[in-house]
Amino acid sequence: MKKLAIILLGCCVSLMLWNCKGKSSDGSSDVDNALAERMGLKEVPKVEKFVVVTADQTPVLREPAKGSAILVNCMEDMESDMADSRVQWSDEKVPRGYSNNDWDRYAGTVLAVLGEEGDYYKVSVKDREWCDIESGYVLKSDTEEMKPEAVTAEWIETSAEQAWMPTVVKKEGKYKGLVIRVEVNELWGEETLWVGVLKDGVIYYPDGFVGLIADCDTADELVFRPAGYVDDINLQLQYPKSVSKLNEFGEVMSLDPAKLTDEQIEQILEELGKRPTEYIGCEYSFPMTEGQTALFWLKK
């Protein structure tokens, strides 16, 4: 499937998205906002152990056994950022015009452990954009245990790159614990809306992204449209100038989440609530790793 650079960028720089604002600074929270209820967070499996990969080019196996098929990236043979790709097992058929590359985990990658079997960990490998396979196995000897740390809402607000990734964390009221981020890719002229919930030291995302379209001609309305041609985006939101971030010439740069009213936020949540959520994105903070956060898509 076709990939947008903005989505890949989002995975690589997600460190600013994670937070756990609540009653205390240690990551505890009693958040119970509208999105949390609609996502059904009580159904999300709890991860008890995380490991970080210590060996470069660590393969992900289908079975906990030596010689098992491994995950590979089956990519279209063309020089383009929009080349089609899919992650599959190494013993599956390669389509004509495609070739396989090992989809190994590199040193510093954090993995969520879903189970153990002998010398192997069963780990989550599903990626919202690249990989539909839920889990695989890695050797325990190629990893070491890693524990997440809590990050506060204040940390997000002081460390976020607000110029190209404006983020709002709701700290009180009806939407306490809601995180709204706009990811801007100036190279591609694309914007993506991320909406999440902070609860118990984890940020949770519903399965799906919202593409953004600036429209200065609309009066003061949010207009939702079908996803269009991009299959990583399952909804598009057209927004007016009144909720935009403007440059020095008064031109629209991006959606400004701080300008959204409660009524507009409710509109967005209602639209997200109409779409079934089979998987939940769970983001944890690992400050000592290269990416600083890790996002796992877990089946409810």
Report the Cα–Cα distance between both ends of the chain, in Å, rounded.
24
Asked if pLDDT for residue 219 goes beyond 80, the answer is no
pLDDT band at 28 (very low <50, low <70, confident <90, very high): very low
pLDDT band at 289 (very low <50, low <70, confident <90, very high): low
- Average pLDDT (76-96) is 81
pLDDT attached to residue 135: 95
Q: What are the pLDDT digits (tens) for 121-164?
A: 999 999 877 788 999 999 999 999 999 887 667 766 666 555 56
pLDDT attached to residue 54: 94
Whether 203 contacts 19, CB under 8 Å: yes
Q: What 8-state DSSP symbol labels residue 58? A: B
Instruction: Give the 3-state secondary structure of residue 73.
Output: strand
Residue 272: closest CA among 22, 37, 45: 37
Asked if pLDDT for residue 71 goes beyond 60, the answer is yes
Distance CA 72, CA 102 (A): 4
Whether 275 contacts 235, CB under 8 Å: yes
What contacts 24+ positions apart, CB below 8 Å, involve 112-120?
112/47, 112/49, 112/50, 112/282, 112/294, 112/296, 112/298, 113/47, 113/48, 113/49, 113/50, 113/51, 114/45, 114/47, 116/140, 117/64, 118/64, 119/64, 120/61, 120/64
Whether 72 contacts 60, CB under 8 Å: no
pLDDT attached to residue 233: 57
- Among 30-34, 59-63, 70-74, 264-268, the minimum mean pLDDT is found in 30-34
- Average pLDDT (282-288) is 83
Whether 39 contacts 131, CB under 8 Å: no
Asked if pLDDT for residue 176 goes beyond 50, the answer is yes
pLDDT attached to residue 102: 85
